[in-house]
A and B are shown apart, each in its own frame.
Chain A
Amino acid sequence: MCDATDTPAMESQPQLQKERVVGAQNKLCVKCKAAKPSVSIRRSLYCRNCFVRSSVTKFRTALSKSRKRMPVTAARARVMVALSGGATSSAMLQLMADYQRMELKGYAAEHTYDSIVAGHVDESALFSGYDDAQICDIAAAVDVECRVARLEDVFELEGDRAALLELVHATIAPGTTRDQFCVQLTRGDESTPAREQLRALFAGLGSATDREDMLDIIKSFLLARLARQAQCELLLLGDSGTRIASKLVSLTSRGRGFSLPLEVGAETPFLGSNDVVAYRPMRDLIMKEIAFFNLWTGQSSVVVPTFTTGAPETASIDRLTEAFVVGLDRDFVSTVSTVCRTVQKLEQCPEALTAAKCILCSMPAELNAQAWRNRLTVNVAPNERPLEHVATPSADIQSPLSSFDVTARLCYSCQSLLHFAKPGVALPVFCLDNYREQATASPPSDADNDVDIDADSQQRRESLRQRIEEFFI
């Protein structure tokens, strides 16, 4: 190789640098087999036109598969397209508008959607450095109405029953035998603007991971509410294949296995309401495909920053996972598509189907989460009796200032989220609404405070045995 007689190598070097894909000169597009390829996706070469066409086909195929698996009840449904302004959701809006127009021309025999509207959550209360108006322009460019909800809307108090749940005490841990999440009702302070309250909530959370988690929860809630207010039966979420793969791993890492199929699945019925169904039709497209699609169709998008934009990879779980999945996909080209296929094969476990909703994230809350944790994270010294369960008064939601335990109403992952939150943090209004809804359906009783009676009595028996062990022969 490094032979002194090898002169031609020097001359051919500039040529090699120009070629982006090795051997592309000699190969043709895998689809039309006529044109020169312009892009390599998962080691297959495509020319520009075939690439754009195949992206459109992938979107439509995903949409029709979802339609078959989880059809919307209304005959002619209104569709809300969730638009964050990012590359994927902007592409999705274009594809959906195009699909809608195409169908109106009568090419497809299937029944059409009634109309589409874009739904956007304005995050400017937390992030700056971008122009929110540009996002509405993206919708305007395809003649689609854009409805906007602001993040701080979750702190808008309405009516006489206006109140918030404020965190009094949250502990997974040391010194107690069980987790306790105590909250109290407070009258909302109408003099403090909702924006300030929102910022106070995020400032009171323990880490970037917790903040990202809370942001996702609030955005999901707002999108579902926007869809309901616009009387849309269907909500399209712009999660690309890369995002779904990364989300699967990060949700697993946060302990959200119980609700996983709802949060990354192809179709999601929104819990507690049969009126909105969500699809993820961009799941077969990876980030690279979307980037090229946007480039070649002239689709504009806006970069909306988040808590960990520009931060090192260990800043949060989501950031680390994204960096890792993208890196792994570079070495093992089919990683993203393999992980997405795995997502399709998962479904909710039987307990999740009948579980109560978590009052924070509205996902199924597993029973016995704290009992599970307590058996595996022992906090009692050898010769000590476990501390008695601290009795809390049963919830009296009529009288403010009484604090009550909501541990049983929080899922495993939201317990971790609130564990490091500062006391005094006020939770969004929808938490109280969820609590009220559940409390009227199944009133809190002593049973709620003793989530796992068996684990408790076993623990007591164990400690008893320890005190008399030395007498065993």
Chain B
Amino acid sequence: MPRQCDICHEARAIVRRPKTAQSICKECFFYVFETEVHNTIVDSKLFKPGDRVGIGASGGKDSTVLAYVMKALNDRYNYGLDLYLLSVDEGIAGYRDDSLETVKRNKEQYGLPLLIVSYEQLYGWSMDSIVAAVGRKNNCTFCGVFRRQALDRGALMLDLDHIVTGHNADDVAETILMNIFRGDISRLDRCTEIATSGEGYVVRSKPFKYAYEKEIVMYAYLRRLDYFSTECTYSPNAYRGYAREFLKKLERVRPSAILDIIHSGEAMHVAKDVQLPSLDRCQRCGYISSNSVCKACVLLEGLERGIPKLGISRTKQD
């Protein structure tokens, strides 16, 4: 006897929801997924009418679904937003050039304007040339630092008020765990915020903060959305992999653990007498930084001078 949907009790259930283990039909799944994102946006008061919002689009499943859902919710609930697709080309052959084709297709499919900024254009170095210079270690550090500035510069070019990224619940939970394992107290304090404060750079938020990665995949699949899925060629050795492995096993023991970790992270509070870095401006490029020279400038200098470890490992005092 085919099972009825646990929510509408009418249609036939076709999936078991990863978040709650309910058996539900396709339409109810779309509805609950979209409503939860809508609730997140409304409760956190992320936008106001008239905001120009850039969707960080990599062509992967998270950003494709994000673009689709943002457009759908913007239309359905009249957020009054101007939406744009903003993409970063890190210059990774065989990975990024393929996913950018997906973004270009998304532009046509969703009818949203697109801007692509590249590392080559902004810094004079592509990830491929960086890895050739420094080797296959600590690559994520370079990419992450450069990408963050790249998105902000793209946002300036488009005169955006807000950037949204497709970070999902699994990403946030992994970040919390990673910061605990590494003892990074200042990041631990900040990483559960749904939106950055916007001091010195464009406000950035994660509408998918409470959406499970598996559900995003399910959504993309059931809606037949076009996305590109492969691992970045340089990723296998990242420290985040440990946190990810732990989280995957944890999800098998208790599926609600992902939300539980985020709940815990939000309650974590740094003791008053702990010193946290203060925000300042980079002396060279003016970008926001907690040191006198921002990390991107330090890394670039290392690359230009042929000292690839500059900004990555500590140098011994002789």
Asked if residues A346 and B22 are in contact (CB atoms below 8 Å), the reply is no
The minimal Cβ–Cβ distance linking A351 to chain B, given in whole angstroms, is: 8
Asked if residues B20 and A174 are in contact (CB atoms below 8 Å), the reply is yes
Contact (A209, B254) CB under 8 Å given A378-B35, A381-B31 = yes
Name 7 extra pairs, CB < 8 A, besides A174-B7, A379-B7.
Answer: A207-B254, A252-B180, A346-B268, A346-B269, A347-B269, A381-B9, A382-B28
Interface centre among B36, B185, B253 (most CB of A within 10 A): B253
Contact residue among B40, B270, B272 (Cβ-Cβ distance under 8 Å from A376):
B40
Contact residue among A349, A376, A416 (Cβ-Cβ distance under 8 Å from B39):
A376
The minimal Cβ–Cβ distance linking A248 to chain B, given in whole angstroms, is: 7
Asked if residues B8 and A384 are in contact (CB atoms below 8 Å), the reply is yes
Asked if residues A372 and B263 are in contact (CB atoms below 8 Å), the reply is yes
Mark contacts of B1-40 with chain A using CB atoms, 8 A cut-off: 1 yes-contact digit, 0 otherwise.
Answer: 0000011110000000001101000011001100110011
Contact (A376, B264) CB under 8 Å given A174-B6, A339-B180 = no
Contact residue among A324, A345, A372 (Cβ-Cβ distance under 8 Å from B271):
A345
The residues of B with any CB-CB pair to A shorter than 8 Å are: 6-9, 19-20, 22, 27-28, 31-32, 35-36, 39-40, 42-43, 76, 78, 176-177, 180-183, 185, 188, 210, 242, 246, 249-250, 252-254, 256-257, 259-261, 263-272, 274
A-B contact pairs, 25 of them (CB 8 A): A174-B6, A248-B180, A252-B265, A253-B260, A254-B257, A255-B260, A255-B261, A256-B264, A320-B250, A332-B181, A335-B181, A339-B183, A347-B269, A347-B270, A366-B267, A377-B259, A378-B32, A378-B36, A379-B20, A381-B8, A381-B9, A382-B27, A384-B8, A412-B260, A413-B260
Closest 5 CB pairs of A and B: A257-B264, A255-B260, A257-B267, A338-B183, A349-B269
Contact residue among A335, A345, A352 (Cβ-Cβ distance under 8 Å from B267):
A352
On chain B, the residues within 8 Å of A313 by CB distance are 249
Mark contacts of A346-371 with chain B using CB atoms, 8 A cut-off: 1 yes-contact digit, 0 otherwise.
Answer: 11111010000000000000100100
The minimal Cβ–Cβ distance linking B1 to chain A, given in whole angstroms, is: 19
Asked if residues B39 and A342 are in contact (CB atoms below 8 Å), the reply is no
The minimal Cβ–Cβ distance linking B6 to chain A, given in whole angstroms, is: 5
Asked if residues A252 and B264 are in contact (CB atoms below 8 Å), the reply is yes
Contact residue among B6, B250, B270, B274 (Cβ-Cβ distance under 8 Å from A317):
B250
Mark contacts of A376-391 with chain B using CB atoms, 8 A cut-off: 1 yes-contact digit, 0 otherwise.
Answer: 1111111010000000
Asked if A258 CB lies within 8 Å of chain B CBs, one says: yes
On chain B, the residues within 8 Å of A369 by CB distance are 263
On chain B, the residues within 8 Å of A373 by CB distance are 259
Interface centre among A257, A350, A458 (most CB of B within 10 A): A257
Asked if A316 CB lies within 8 Å of chain B CBs, one says: yes
Q: Tell me the complex Cα distance, A202–B274, Å.
A: 41
Asked if A328 CB lies within 8 Å of chain B CBs, one says: yes
Asked if residues B261 and A252 are in contact (CB atoms below 8 Å), the reply is yes
On chain A, the residues within 8 Å of B252 by CB distance are 314
On chain B, the residues within 8 Å of A174 by CB distance are 6-7, 20, 22
On chain B, the residues within 8 Å of A316 by CB distance are 253
Interface centre among A317, A350, A382, A384 (most CB of B within 10 A): A382
Q: Tell me the complex Cα distance, A380–B182, Å.
A: 40
On chain A, the residues within 8 Å of B267 by CB distance are 257-258, 260, 349, 352, 366
Asked if residues B7 and A317 are in contact (CB atoms below 8 Å), the reply is no
Where chain A touches its partner, the secondary structure class is helix
Mark contacts of A400-419 with chain B using CB atoms, 8 A cut-off: 1 yes-contact digit, 0 otherwise.
Answer: 00000000000011001000
A-B contact count (CB 8 A): 143
Residue of chain A at shortest CB distance from B34: A378
The minimal Cβ–Cβ distance linking A453 to chain B, given in whole angstroms, is: 15
Contact (A412, B268) CB under 8 Å given A324-B246, A381-B8, A381-B28 = no
On chain A, the residues within 8 Å of B180 by CB distance are 248-249, 252, 339, 342
On chain B, the residues within 8 Å of A33 by CB distance are none
On chain A, the residues within 8 Å of B19 by CB distance are 377
Q: Tell me the complex Cα distance, A348–B252, Å.
A: 30
Asked if A285 CB lies within 8 Å of chain B CBs, one says: no
The minimal Cβ–Cβ distance linking A263 to chain B, given in whole angstroms, is: 11
Q: Tell me the complex Cα distance, A314–B250, Å.
A: 8
Mark contacts of A410-437 with chain B using CB atoms, 8 A cut-off: 1 yes-contact digit, 0 otherwise.
Answer: 0011001000000000000000000000
Q: Tell me the complex Cα distance, A320–B39, Å.
A: 33
Q: Tell me the complex Cα distance, A260–B264, Å.
A: 8
Residue of chain A at shortest CB distance from B179: A342
Asked if residues B250 and A375 are in contact (CB atoms below 8 Å), the reply is no
Mark contacts of A286-325 with chain B using CB atoms, 8 A cut-off: 1 yes-contact digit, 0 otherwise.
Answer: 0000000000000000000000000001111100110010
Asked if A251 CB lies within 8 Å of chain B CBs, one says: yes
Asked if residues A341 and B268 are in contact (CB atoms below 8 Å), the reply is no
Asked if residues B36 and A377 are in contact (CB atoms below 8 Å), the reply is yes
Asked if residues A253 and B257 are in contact (CB atoms below 8 Å), the reply is yes
The minimal Cβ–Cβ distance linking B5 to chain A, given in whole angstroms, is: 8
On chain A, the residues within 8 Å of B31 by CB distance are 378, 381-382
Asked if residues A257 and B268 are in contact (CB atoms below 8 Å), the reply is yes
Residue of chain A at shortest CB distance from B185: A345
Asked if A173 CB lies within 8 Å of chain B CBs, one says: yes
On chain A, the residues within 8 Å of B259 by CB distance are 255, 373, 376-377
Q: Tell me the complex Cα distance, A458–B185, Å.
A: 35
Contact residue among B176, B181, B257 (Cβ-Cβ distance under 8 Å from A338):
B181
Q: Tell me the complex Cα distance, A255–B256, Å.
A: 9
Asked if residues B254 and A257 are in contact (CB atoms below 8 Å), the reply is no
On chain B, the residues within 8 Å of A338 by CB distance are 181-183
Q: Tell me the complex Cα distance, A321–B177, Å.
A: 11
Asked if residues A255 and B263 are in contact (CB atoms below 8 Å), the reply is yes
Asked if residues B271 and A347 are in contact (CB atoms below 8 Å), the reply is yes
Q: Tell me the complex Cα distance, A458–B267, Å.
A: 24
On chain A, the residues within 8 Å of B182 by CB distance are 338
Within 8 A of B (CB), among A233-251: 248-249, 251
On chain A, the residues within 8 Å of B265 by CB distance are 252, 257
On chain B, the residues within 8 Å of A458 by CB distance are 42
Q: Tell me the complex Cα distance, A332–B250, Å.
A: 21
The minimal Cβ–Cβ distance linking A407 to chain B, given in whole angstroms, is: 16
The minimal Cβ–Cβ distance linking A237 to chain B, given in whole angstroms, is: 20
The minimal Cβ–Cβ distance linking B168 to chain A, given in whole angstroms, is: 13
The minimal Cβ–Cβ distance linking B17 to chain A, given in whole angstroms, is: 9
On chain B, the residues within 8 Å of A375 by CB distance are 36, 39-40, 43
Contact (A209, B177) CB under 8 Å given A346-B268, A348-B269 = no
Contact residue among A173, A257, A335, A346 (Cβ-Cβ distance under 8 Å from B263):
A257
On chain A, the residues within 8 Å of B78 by CB distance are 472
Q: Tell me the complex Cα distance, A313–B19, Å.
A: 22
Asked if residues A412 and B249 are in contact (CB atoms below 8 Å), the reply is no
Asked if residues B264 and A255 are in contact (CB atoms below 8 Å), the reply is yes
The minimal Cβ–Cβ distance linking B311 to chain A, given in whole angstroms, is: 21
Residue of chain B at shortest CB distance from A376: B210
Q: Tell me the complex Cα distance, A376–B42, Å.
A: 12
On chain B, the residues within 8 Å of A253 by CB distance are 250, 254, 257, 260-261, 264
Q: Tell me the complex Cα distance, A369–B261, Å.
A: 14
Residue of chain A at shortest CB distance from B276: A345
Asked if residues A317 and B257 are in contact (CB atoms below 8 Å), the reply is yes
